[in-house]
Structure 1
Amino acid sequence: MKCLLDATSVKVLTRAIHCLAKIGDELHIEPTANGLTLKTVNASKSAYSAFTFHLPFFLDFCHISENTVQPDPEDDTVIKCKLPMKSILSVFRSIGSLEKSVETCHITLPLLEALLIIEFKCKHGIIKHFNLRYFECESVEAEFSKEGYASKFSCTSRFYSETLLSFHSSTQEVTWSLAMDQVHLSNHIDDEIDPSKCVRTEITLAKDEFVDFNVALCTQVTFCLKELRAILAFAEALKLDLDCRMEGAGQPVLFSLEKANLYSADFLLATLTPVLDSTAHSSRSTNDQRKNKSSRESNLSKTSSPVPTLRDKDSRVASSANLHTTIMPIVPESPYFTSRLNSLSLIEPQPFPAIEEDLDIQPPPSKRARARYIFQNCLKATQEVRERPYEVFAPDSEGDE
């Protein structure tokens, strides 16, 4: 495969790679006779994304890889490969710098070299050359049909982005409730979490706010919000409309976008099944019954036994039978007391020195006595007469008689 792109196409290709990098860890490259397809699947296989760049998107395109070592038309074939997302991001790292400096981009997939060769021709005659090692793999496909969905509605990507700003950044899953005249969005709260301790966000979108609105089945689906944010980041930068197709709970949700005859993208996201929700609800009700039963038993034990009861952090009453069988350890008296150290400390505990019982402890002096002791040097003479040893050179003369 070999293709040539201009500066505008390089910008779109870079944004597409950044969008795929937020979803999966590997980039699948599949050249076809109609264009180039970039795909990725997340680790849990709950999200599938595919960008298809058609022939008008390129200045020059050939999907057949040529044998550069020994040119032979019979050995030419189509290569389908994958490479780590980190390696391709090292080439298309900065969208702004590529948009300002790159004039053309040439991408080739030689047959025998097992390298993805990317060459940037920048301004002022600067050429950047990258060789990325790839791995041959089979084609990655997701079975879906756009005509098989009962409900379809489309809107501008900016409208979706402004709607999702109301949700907290830590929100992981969002629930879409479809009605005949509106779409209701709310953050999904797990059954294991106490709803009274969570922030509930709900948004209602009227039918008139959509470009196209056709809901044939009123349903409620829940899917991950991380992939949706990645889709909107690409669509909003290029000012594209986003089509959404839904069928029912447990069925995948399909987001798609298209730019004339240049490129198109499909994003297939898995949704939560109602079976999981009912199972979680039943398990939660079972846990509540067990808590109520244990609390009733503990209340009975509290009234029948004079032993005081203990409560933990979850306000669950401990059984008094455990208090009868619990034996408190008795520490023998010792003249030395050892200090308790941190478990990470490497210093062995040392005994504290014994305190003498007949030690006479005097009370501290008064403030006036302490001040007199501090400033006593200020009250002394500046010069002190001290007897110093000296040698007498001339004795005193005797007095006149």
Structure 2
Amino acid sequence: MNCVIPGGNLKIFGKSLHALCRFGDALHIEPSESKLSIRTVNMTKTAYAVVDFTPAFFQFYEVQDVEEEQTDCLKCKLPMKAMLNAFKNTSNLEKNVLTCKMKYSVDSESLTLKFRFKHEIIKTHIIYLLDGETLEELNLADKYSNMIATPSSIFQHALQNFQTTDNEISFDVFKNKITLRNYMQNDMCIKMLRSQITIHSTDFSKCDIGAETDIRFSLKLFRAAIGFAETFHLNVSVNFDTSGKPLIVSTKNDQTFEAAFVLSTLRLDDETQSTVSDKNTSKQIKIRTSSSRESVKRKIPTPTNNNETQIDTEENMLEITNMLLNDEDFPEVIENDAKRRKSVENGVKESDPEIVHTVFKRCFEMTLCPTELSQDVLAEDSDEES
């Protein structure tokens, strides 16, 4: 294969590599007479990405003639990091590089990249091929029951409402709207910020929903696919079916290239997030009513000023103290509590350390065993000053 990429298209090729690196660590190149395909897949084979470049994308494009049985010899596998190092600064490449020549043959063990800069400066990268199985092309022509066509900016603005720490996103698909929300496990709902945004069907260019469904997939990969299309202000088409079947994000420039990103979807749990908050509330109610003190069930009035807030706080502390202490074991404490309650109700703030002193004193007396005390003198008295 021998092709030359003009300087004006180096940004597109570089951005394609940066988008594919989010999906996999190896780059598969497959040249043919009609197109040049670059593909990648993740290690678990749950995400797949491909970008096809037509001959019009290149300044010069030539593929070595081989027999049909030897077409696999044209395919090559490269380390993704090595390709990213060659195209790591796409904006400078577009401004300073005139052409980029990419060449490798059937018998070669490396791919050669030659960047011709202004003032006749040539920079050469030699990337050695990786051994391994070739990546077969997926058939993406299957029909799906749901299809959404829209400018990439619609999804791009919607994804800005989600945190970078969110791993997964859920689509709740209805006939007239689609709700996007970050997916969280039950034990993470309290610790993380829950985001949700609804996009009506009228906001899309085309929204054909054949079956209402709920699907969940990787937010990181979906953000990479939408970001690639948004870079060139292209429209995107999202095709999906029910949960458990792949979701495909596709975009294309009619004359030069087209891209497709395939994401696996997972089936949502039977217990939805809408019931999580109710369950947490019921658990809190159970904790409050599990005390042996059934008498502490009265409603505390809502405070209207700082003085009432202070009084309610004092009353709550007294009630908790009564729940923890036994009337028969601590009569002096309960008596002091009654006096303190009376002073609180009168609006008088009074400091009473006697209750704390009594509690710790009785705890000490109950755990103290005089027979186990050692009579050894650990530190003698210091000598008197002369």
TM-score (norm 2): 0.70
Question: What are structure 1's unaligned runs of at least 5 residues?
Answer: 67-73, 304-329, 337-354, 363-401
Match of 2:3 in 1: 3
User: How far off is 1:125 after superposition?
Assistant: 0.8
Partner of 1:50: 50
2:238 and 2:373 mapped to 1: Cα distance?
71
Which SS does the other structure have where 2:207 is aligned? strand
Q: Matched residues in 1 for 2:149 and 2:162: separation?
A: 21
Corresponding residue for residue 39 of structure 1:
39
Q: Does 1:111 align with 2:102?
A: no
User: Structure 1 residues 162 and 76, CA, compared in 2 at 3 Å: closer, same or farther?
Assistant: closer
Aligned match of 1:223: 217
Residues 183 and 204, structure 1, Cα contact 8 Å, conserved in 2 = yes
Say if 1:27 and 1:84, in contact at 8 Å, map to a contact too. Answer: yes
Structure 2 residue 187 is matched with structure 1 residue 163: no
Cα deviation digits, residues 207-241 of structure 1 (max 9, x gap):
12111111111111010100111112211111111
Tell me which residue corresponds to 1:357.
381
> Counterpart in 1 of 2:329?
none
Partners of 1:15 and 1:198 in 2: CA distance: 32
User: Residue deviations 1:19-69, cap 9 Å, x none?
Assistant: 111221111111122111111111222210011111111121122289xxx
Distance 1:54-1:113 versus aligned 2 partners, 3 A rule: same
Deviation at 1:84, TM superposition (A): 1.4
Runs of 4+ in 1 over 6 A off after TM superposition: 74-77, 330-336
Match of 1:98 in 2: 93
Partner SS for 1:208: helix
What amino acid is aligned across from residue 232 of structure 2 in structure 1?
L
Distance 1:218 1:361 in 2: 93
Match of 2:327 in 1: none
Q: Distance in 1 between matches of 2:192 and 2:201?
A: 29
- The question of whether the paired residues in 2 share the 8 Å contact of 1:63 and 1:78 is answered with no
Answering whether residue 247 of structure 2 is matched by residue 253 of structure 1, we say yes
Q: Which amino acid aligns with 2:382?
A: D
Contact 2:10 2:90 in 1 (8 A): no
1:172 — aligned with what? 167
* Amino acid paired to 1:32: S
CA distance in structure 1 between the partners assigned to 2:116 and 2:84 by the alignment: 18
What is the distance in 2 between the residues matched to 1:87 and 1:220?
Answer: 39
For 2:72 and 2:260, the matched residues in 1 are separated by: 27
- Partners of 1:6 and 1:245 in 2: CA distance: 33
What's 2:64 paired with? 64
Aligned partners of 1:242 and 1:212: how far apart in 2? 11
Tell me if 1:124 matches 2:124: no
8 Å Cα contact 1:50/1:266 also seen in 2: yes
Change (3 A) 1:357 1:182: same
Q: CA deviation at 1:199?
A: 2.1
Q: In structure 2, what residue type is equivalent to 1:236?
A: E
SS at match of 2:249: strand
Conservation of the 8 A alpha-carbon contact between 2:172 and 2:213:
yes
* Structure 1 residues 192 and 113: alpha-carbon distance in aligned structure 2, compared to 1, 3 A threshold: same
What letter is aligned with 1:239? H
* Secondary structure of 1:43's aligned partner: coil
Query: Any stretches of 5+ residues in structure 2 without a counterpart?
Result: 293-323, 325-371
- Inter-CA distance 331–181: structure 2 relative to 1 (3 Å threshold): farther
Q: Partner letter of residue 160 of structure 1?
A: F
Please state how far the C-alpha of 1:160 moved relative to its aligned partner.
Answer: 1.1
Aligned to 1:184: 179
Number of residue equivalences: 302
Measure, in 1, the Cα distance between the counterparts of 2:382 and 2:145.
Answer: 94
1:48-102 CA-to-partner distances (Å, cap 9, x unmatched) read: 0011111111121122289xxxxxxx99984212121111111111111111111
Summarize the alignment of residues 1-400 of structure 1 with structure 2, pairs less than 5 Å apart. 1-64=1-64, 78-141=73-136, 143-193=138-188, 195-274=189-268, 277-278=269-270, 355-360=379-384
CA positional deviation for 1:9: 1.8
Aligned mates of 2:48, 2:210 — CA distance in 1: 25
Tell me how far apart the structure 1 counterparts of residues 225 and 47 of structure 2 sit (CA, whole Å): 12
Residue identity in the other structure for 1:2 = N
Distance of 1:130 and 1:77 partners within structure 2 = 24
Letter of the structure 2 residue corresponding to residue 24 of structure 1: G
Distance of 1:331 and 1:92 partners within structure 2: 77
**Larger relative helix fraction:** 2
Note the C-alpha offset of 1:150: 0.4
For residue 106 of structure 2, give the secondary structure of its aligned residue in structure 1: coil
Tell me how far 1:181 sits from its aligned partner.
1.2
Q: 1:361 to 1:222 in 2, by over 3 A?
A: farther
Contact preservation (8 Å) 2:9, 2:94:
no
Task: Let me know the Cα RMSD of the aligned residues.
Answer: 3.5
AA of the residue aligned to 1:62: E
CA contact (8 A) 1:83 1:135 kept: yes
SS in 1 for 2:82: helix
1:270 maps to a residue whose letter is S
